[in-house]
Structure 1
Amino acid sequence: MAPPGCPPHAAGRREGPVPPPPDIAPAATIPAGDGPACPAPPAIPDGLPPPRRRLATLAVALAIAMSVIDGTIAGAALPTIARELNTSPSTSIWATNAYQLAVTVSLLPLAALGEIVGYRRIYLGGLILFTLASVLCALSGSFEALVAARAVQGLGAAGLMSVNTALVRFIQPRAHLGRGLGFNAMVVSTAAAAGPTAAGLILGVADWPWIFAVNLPIGLLALAIGWRSLPESPRGRHRFDVLSAVLSAATFGLVILGLDSLAHGGSALSALPEVAVGLLAGVWLVRRQAGVARPLLPVDLLRIPIFALSIGTSLCSFAAQMLAFASLPFLLQTGLGFSVFAAGLLTTSWFIATAVAAPLSGRLMERFPAGLLGGVGLAMLSGGLGAMALLPASPQPLDIVWRMALCGFGFGLFQTPNNRTLVGAAPPERAGGASGMLSTARLVGQTSGAATVGLVLAWMPGMAVAGPKTALAIGCALAALGAVVSLLRLRARG
């Protein structure tokens, strides 16, 4: 039992005040007014010991790879699903939208909940829900049942994405955090590239339910490893703010739903009111969060200059990336006449280059500032997108491959240092909020980029080459803006 007047941690409670970051040595004792000296709070371990660290890294990699592949593999299988479940192609997109929307509305609430109950619980709970929902997807007998199961699956994926980066911070020693995040970025890029190929392989030998059923053994393996290896994290003593969670879901859900509707040719009369109501909910959310010690929307972290600049860099970069991903299929297939298979093969060079650059940048940031690496990487992305926009009328495959590789390498060079800086700028007890903001910035940037492509193609109908090239030029400008914002971090204070 702690001496009178001492904080709860002295009595052995796990939910006392959050201890200092691992690179700050705690004092031997903490005075308690004029009373006896209180024992210091236990220091946060600087990462896990090597054997357990490897297992925890494997558990995180398996779960994240599974959720990323599932997002791309389902999209590739939509034509088959639409045909076999007797639904129209335009309606079948809800098998993807339900997943993305569930992820978007629950990211920040789950990240905030992770700061209260622990990131390990949120991660493992998300993994269990994702795996069970995958089985429900495979057993769906109707399109409506599939959409409902996909929404539940998206909620599970949000549990993985919301605290993924925060968990890595407690798995890896501070000296190796950049490498750990670089490995994660490599896993994500490889999984994204493998999704369409995996869909083709599975659909070539089995029915569409198997694209979801394969998640069962992978999910169980990740759960078995993670249950024994994932670390605990400090827990806050504040209460979960239900109203703020509802406002957050309304803000991001309505805004992204409206932008997504515009991107797919929806009516502006219905989409713009959704965006407007979402923005009003966002204003209410920001006003409600002002002055809160542990806000669900981490406005407190946005007051840290280097954190705010890193969020701005993320928004620009992911918007630029999605401008490319959404416009390139139209340019390569409709405009330049490549087959679906050939276009996919050409695009793979982007993901391969990202997978090569991501771990390399994790090592480089041990010698160079993240702002510089991010600026150089996004300048390369901007140059690659600009070169794609200037493709000749009849390009050879090599003309496209080197441009794709330049984009992918630049994005990989930027991503790891940016994630490391963003997470490192937040106090350890706020790692969940930082991780949630990182994932939210990615989704908002990607959705904005996709909506922009939809608007450009709607404004330039019938222009199979000029329309996509215009979208690529906009992406080039956004990547250049992101490079400038990244370089501003060289003079920013944490």
Structure 2
Amino acid sequence: FWAVTLVALAGLVRDITRHPAPFISAEVIGNRRFMTPAIAVAFRMFVHDGIRFLLVLYLVNIFSQTPRTIGFFMLFYGIPLTVGVTYGGFLADRWPGRLVGGLAMLVLGVGTLWLALVGADAGTLLLTPGLIVAGLSGGISLTPFTKTAVAALGPDRVGLAAGLYNTLRFAGIAVSTPLLGLLLARGFARYGGLETVAPPYQTAFLLLTVVAVVGAGIAALIPHDKE
């Protein structure tokens, strides 16, 4: 996977730097108003996919929950996420994307930190505040990033902007699960391969918190409208 990814990236760089009419021009890559929210949303998607990946394993291996219960708990994340996307659009029309997206990413980090602090001796209901906060803030952060990035290249290149933006967005998803899986495997190895111990999962949730905060920092770098 990583080898194919590196080869594809090398081909893209070669096309940008040497082809007289590149598929993606250097001007697009150098457009901070486009690239900054596109990179920020990759961090956002890393956290989003990581929550879904870790939560299922956490509920199964630590809290011994059934598939029915797991599906129920996912609603505490999925419903606020859906509401947040719509509300994020409302906010993005009234406030700068860097402000709305950045603050939402910080709150997303608060949600994942909550999940990291819920230990094995706690009840599963204590997970719900973190899931609700993470879902709502994760939804809010998505729309301002999308709006800013797609508008940055102008109406004549909306398709290119949407395509490249979504490529970077899904890159966050593509990287999240493999890296978190490796982190969990390394943590389990410290406990003799036992997967029913909480610390490796808590460490993984802490990583998501760090990624969310870094994403907020990147969002703060989105240029103002006049820049």
Alignment partner of 2:140 out of 406, 413, 419: 413
Q: Identity of aligned pairs, percent?
A: 24
Q: CA deviation at 1:401?
A: 1.3
Counterpart residue type for residue 327 of structure 1: L
Indicate yes or no: 2:88 matched with 1:366. no
SS of equivalent residue, structure 1 residue 392: coil
User: Which sections of structure 1, spanning at least 5 residues, go unmatched?
Assistant: 1-257, 259-274
Alignment partner of 1:472 out of 197, 200, 205: 205
Separation (CA, whole Å) in 2 of partners of 1:421 and 1:401:
31
1:346 alignment counterpart: 73
TM-score (norm 2): 0.89
Higher relative contact order (CA 8 A, sep 6+): 2
2:175 alignment counterpart: 448
1:305 and 1:493 in contact (8 A); partners too? no
Q: CA deviation at 1:300?
A: 2.9
Larger Rg: 1
Separation (CA, whole Å) in 2 of partners of 1:322 and 1:280:
25
Q: CA deviation at 1:406?
A: 0.3
Counterpart residue type for residue 117 of structure 2: L
1:360-412 deviations in Å (ceiling 9; x for gaps): 12111222111000011111111100110110333334311111010011111
1:155-195 deviations in Å (ceiling 9; x for gaps): xxxxxxxxxxxxxxxxxxxxxxxxxxxxxxxxxxxxxxxxx
Count of matched residue positions in the alignment of Structure 1 and Structure 2:
221
Q: CA deviation at 1:280?
A: 3.4
1:358 and 1:413 in contact (8 A); partners too? yes
2:37 alignment counterpart: 310
Q: CA deviation at 1:493?
A: 5.7
1:58-112 deviations in Å (ceiling 9; x for gaps): xxxxxxxxxxxxxxxxxxxxxxxxxxxxxxxxxxxxxxxxxxxxxxxxxxxxxxx
2:162 alignment counterpart: 435
Q: CA deviation at 1:415?
A: 0.4
Separation (CA, whole Å) in 1 of partners of 2:18 and 2:49:
35
Q: CA deviation at 1:492?
A: 7.6
2:219 alignment counterpart: 486
Counterpart residue type for residue 290 of structure 1: T
1:284 alignment counterpart: 11
For residues 121-200 of structure 1, the aligned pairs below 5 Å read none
TM-score (norm 1): 0.43
Separation (CA, whole Å) in 1 of partners of 2:42 and 2:54:
18
2:153 and 2:161 in contact (8 A); partners too? yes
Q: CA deviation at 1:297?
A: 3.6
SS of equivalent residue, structure 1 residue 489: coil
Separation (CA, whole Å) in 1 of partners of 2:19 and 2:161:
16
Q: CA deviation at 1:417?
A: 0.6
SS of equivalent residue, structure 1 residue 290: helix
2:57 alignment counterpart: 330
2:50 and 2:176 in contact (8 A); partners too? yes
Alignment CA distance shift 1:293-1:406 (3 Å): farther
2:191 alignment counterpart: none
Q: CA deviation at 1:357?
A: 1.5
Separation (CA, whole Å) in 2 of partners of 1:293 and 1:405:
49
1:123-166 deviations in Å (ceiling 9; x for gaps): xxxxxxxxxxxxxxxxxxxxxxxxxxxxxxxxxxxxxxxxxxxx
Separation (CA, whole Å) in 2 of partners of 1:492 and 1:397:
44
Counterpart residue type for residue 402 of structure 1: P
Alignment partner of 2:129 out of 374, 390, 402: 402
Which moved further from structure 2: 283-292 or 379-388?
Answer: 283-292
Separation (CA, whole Å) in 2 of partners of 1:459 and 1:469:
13
Q: CA deviation at 1:287?
A: 2.0
Separation (CA, whole Å) in 2 of partners of 1:405 and 1:308:
29
Alignment CA distance shift 1:293-1:358 (3 Å): farther
Separation (CA, whole Å) in 2 of partners of 1:291 and 1:406:
46
Alignment CA distance shift 1:388-1:431 (3 Å): same
2:63 and 2:124 in contact (8 A); partners too? no
For the aligned residue pairs, the C-alpha RMSD in angstroms reads 2.0
2:116 and 2:203 in contact (8 A); partners too? yes
Separation (CA, whole Å) in 2 of partners of 1:286 and 1:492:
28
2:37 and 2:219 in contact (8 A); partners too? yes
Counterpart residue type for residue 276 of structure 1: A
Separation (CA, whole Å) in 1 of partners of 2:89 and 2:138:
13
1:323 and 1:452 in contact (8 A); partners too? no
1:315-371 deviations in Å (ceiling 9; x for gaps): 111111122111111111111222121122111111110111211121112221110
Alignment CA distance shift 1:320-1:493 (3 Å): farther
For residues 69-80 of structure 1, the aligned pairs below 5 Å read none
Q: By percentage of residues, which structure has more helix?
A: 2
Separation (CA, whole Å) in 1 of partners of 2:148 and 2:155:
13
2:105 alignment counterpart: 378
Alignment CA distance shift 1:292-1:468 (3 Å): same
Q: CA deviation at 1:444?
A: 1.1
